[in-house]
Amino acid sequence: AFQVKIASSGAVYDIPADQTVVHALQEHGIEILTSCEQGVCGTCITRVLQGECDHRDLYFTDEEKAANDQFTPCCSRAKSPLLVLDL
Ligand code: FES
């Protein structure tokens, strides 16, 4: 499990191991637009301001993944304890 911080509100939420970032945030009323929910389409792309992404999508190139400034919250997770999202 890790935590996600919403930059605009400062709120921090737990992301349980068995839930995606999209679904965990949805339970707190934060809606991220999705389509494939499998890391293929790029609809859910969200900017990452802090923390290390655990990219699990098939959308970004290796270079984009290495840049660590955006991720696909429908399937990707965090390697660091906290991810700060530009939401
Ligand atoms: Fe398609 Fe996340 S919803 S990549």
What is the tens place of the pLDDT at every residue in 30-46? Answer: 999 999 999 999 999 99
59 lines ligand 1 (CB under 6 A): yes
What average pLDDT does range 69-87 have in this prediction?
Answer: 98
Distance from Cα 72 to the centre of ligand 1, integer Å: 6
Q: Is residue 72 within 6 Å of ligand 1 at its C-beta?
A: yes
- Ligand 1 center from residue 54 Cα (angstroms): 15
Assess: ipTM above 0.85.
Answer: yes
Amino acid (one-letter) located at 64: E
Using CA of residue 61, residue 18, residue 85, residue 73, what is the dihedral sign?
A: positive
User: Measured in angstroms, how far is the CA atom of residue 76 from the centroid of ligand 1?
Assistant: 10
- Adjacent-strand bridge partners of 54: 77
